[in-house]
Structure 1
Amino acid sequence: MQAKSKEKSTRLITFAVSHYCEKARWALERLNIPFIEEPHVPGFHWLFTLPTGGKSVPVLLTEAGTFTNSTDILHYLDTLAPTSYRLYPADPKLRREVENLEHLFDTVLGVSVRLWLYFYLLNSHKLMRKLWCDGVPPIESILFPIVFPPVRSFARKYYNITPHSADRSLNRIRRLFEKVNKLLESDGRSYLVGNCFSAADLTFACLVAPLLIPPEYAGKTLDLHEFPDEIALVHHELRESPAGAFVLRLFREERRTQLSLMEILGS
């Protein structure tokens, strides 16, 4: 009975569409940790995150405490992981490399992908309903037509979504893909840091997933034919790069990798 109660106490507050939420979701599922995901329409989420001390999503609520961003969630989950499943290397030098890349991807790549996609997608009430209303409480879906116009205006202002900022964001995405291309090609490495899957790999893969649309991506996305042509063109461009192939491989080989029962008992 205690185990069942503990499972129910682990909650993940999300936007279904958020690539930052996929970071947390992937890390939880990788460790086979049962959790309840609670997606909300942007704007409504404040009713659930602010009382926890968080602002945006993801927010993870556990018996051990509340964690209010994707990187804090990964650091917490790493304390629960057996050595072979840790996302941060024990070696201090390698750990710094992982954390530096994760910070770069969080603060530049993820932000740029979000801004660039929203520049095109916020124009469509129909597409945004599909992206924002998946799995949310019925009342939020019902009220979506009323709240979407002011939330869209807020998002454009808050994220500074303009033609100029969209162009700048796409340039930043391309530069970071070039950086990852060089890392991968420099010595034929399989992962960004060291010889093991790390938070750097997971973060890069998650934060570009809305553009590359890997089949294993668990966040809400659209079929390629639903995207505007500008997005479809960049989708094909990035998928054909070494970094794009790397992301697709990570999703294919690592996304559904989970701790076995024996590893759970052994930890």
Structure 2
Amino acid sequence: MNHSTVSNTEVVRLITIPISHYCEKVRWALDLLKIPYVEEQHVPAFHRSVTRKYGGSSVPILVAKSSIFTDSTDILHYLNTISLSGFCLYPEQAELLREVEELEELFDTRLGVDIRNWGYYYRLDNRQTMRKAWCKGTPLFERVGFEIAFPFISAKVRQLYSITAESAAFSLQGIREVFEIVNQRLADDRPYLAGDRLSAADLTFAALAAPVLQPREHPVLVAKIEELPIDMAAVIKELQATVAGNHALRLYREQRQVY
């Protein structure tokens, strides 16, 4: 359990796949806002038996006393209302709020999807890598099931997301385009993407970009850059050197506290 020292507070339940960058987005928000939670981790495919019960097909899912949330942005909006830290992920000023929500939508619908597909192209067939990515903290029977069903799960994921060399190249172009948007927003040494403090836009960008930046502070990432395929490592080094990449890495260094 996280934040076990907090008393008289609801403990929410977070259902995840360990490596999911959308789950990292919510996990980070929970830690940042000092909201106590229990994380329940599952191997892909096996997670469906749990998410189905809550009306979702994917993760993250947040189970709270008041409701069940099956979308990462909906979860962050809810967490913002029960924060124990006095910190707000969404500004009150209407214009800033609009900017934050538009950026969060951009990162969710474009960056997160492209990074997932690009990363899976290189690593999906590597059993050892995917064991670390998918199995950390999961139930024993799921870890055993992974060993038996890995070829099927891997093939199913590749088919589900239409992962090919061509789609990976297209996804990489999309990643670079979003990074350039962030580069431009951070021009003139702006400290954050909207306003003068960390918001859901910054957190979402950093969490979803983590697989192509490999921040040392990430709680789940499974490989060192020198262990990655040469082409993959070259892209990571390229993006780490950008203004956007430096922004996300700084946020991990300064703001990603794991309790």
1:203-239 Cα deviation digits (max 9, x unpaired) = 0000011111111112333222222111111111111
The equivalent of 1:159 in structure 2 is: 161
Is the 2:133–2:220 Cα contact (8 Å) retained in structure 1? no
Question: CA RMSD, aligned part only?
Answer: 1.8
Say whether the 8 Å CA contact 1:19–1:219 is kept in structure 2.
no
Distance 2:175 2:133 in 1: 22
Offset at residue 146 of structure 1 (A): 1.9
Quote the residue 1:46 is aligned against.
Answer: 48
Identity within the alignment, %: 49
Structure 1 residues not aligned, in runs of 5+: 259-267
Aligned residue for 1:65? 67
Distance 2:258 2:147 in 1: 39
CA distance in 1, matches of 2:129, 2:82: 38
Q: Secondary structure at the match of 1:36?
A: strand
Q: Find out whether 1:190 has 2:162 as its counterpart.
A: no
Question: CA deviation digits over 1:82-137, x for unaligned, max 9?
Answer: 79511111011111110000000000000000000000101211211121111110
Residue type at the aligned position of 2:151: P
Matches of 1:147 and 1:6, distance apart in 2? 40
Deviation at 1:196, TM superposition (A): 1.1
Aligned residue identity for 2:236: H
Quote the Cα distance in structure 1 between the aligned partners of 2:85 and 2:133.
Answer: 36
The answer as to 2:174 corresponding to 1:172 is yes
Aligned-partner Cα distance in 1 for 2:142–2:170 = 33
Pick which of 99-108 and 118-127 moved more: 118-127
Give the distance between the partners of 1:83 and 1:12, measured in 2 at CA: 19
Compare 145-154 and 70-79 and name the one that shifted more: 145-154
Task: Classify 1:82/1:48 alpha carbon distance in 2 versus 1 (closer, same or farther; 3 Å).
Answer: closer
Q: Which residue identity is paired with 1:13? A: I
Between the aligned partners of 2:145 and 2:8, the Cα distance in structure 1 is: 33
Using the TM superposition, give the Cα deviation of residue 81 of structure 1 relative to its aligned residue in structure 2, in angstroms: 2.8
Letter in 1 for 2:173: N
Paired position in structure 1 for 2:247: 246
Distance verdict in 2 for CA 1:126–1:140, change over 3 Å = same
Moved over 6 A (4+): none
Instruction: Write the mapping of 1:196-235 to structure 2, written as runs, cut at 5 A.
Output: 196-235=197-236
Distance 2:227 2:85 in 1: 42
Q: Which letter maps to 2:91?
A: P
Equivalence for 1:265: none
Tell me the distance in 1 between the aligned counterparts of 2:137 and 2:19. 11
CA contact (8 A) 1:40 1:132 kept: yes
What is the alpha-carbon distance in structure 2 between the residues aligned to residue 105 and residue 79 of structure 1? Answer: 22
Specify the alignment match of 1:78 in structure 2: 80
Q: C-alpha distance in 1, partners of 2:45/2:85?
A: 39
Equivalent position amino acid for 2:14 in 1? L
TM-superposed deviation, 1:27:
0.7
Query: Match for 2:31: what amino acid?
Result: E
| Whole-angstrom distance in 2 between the partners of 1:83 and 1:33 | 8
Matched, 1:124 2:131: no
Question: How does the TM-score come out when normalised to structure 2?
Answer: 0.93
Compute the displacement of 1:253 (Å): 1.2
Aligned to 2:89: 87
SS at the partner of 2:186?
helix
Q: Deviations over 1:165-208 (max 9, x none)?
A: 100000111111111111111x3210000111001000000001
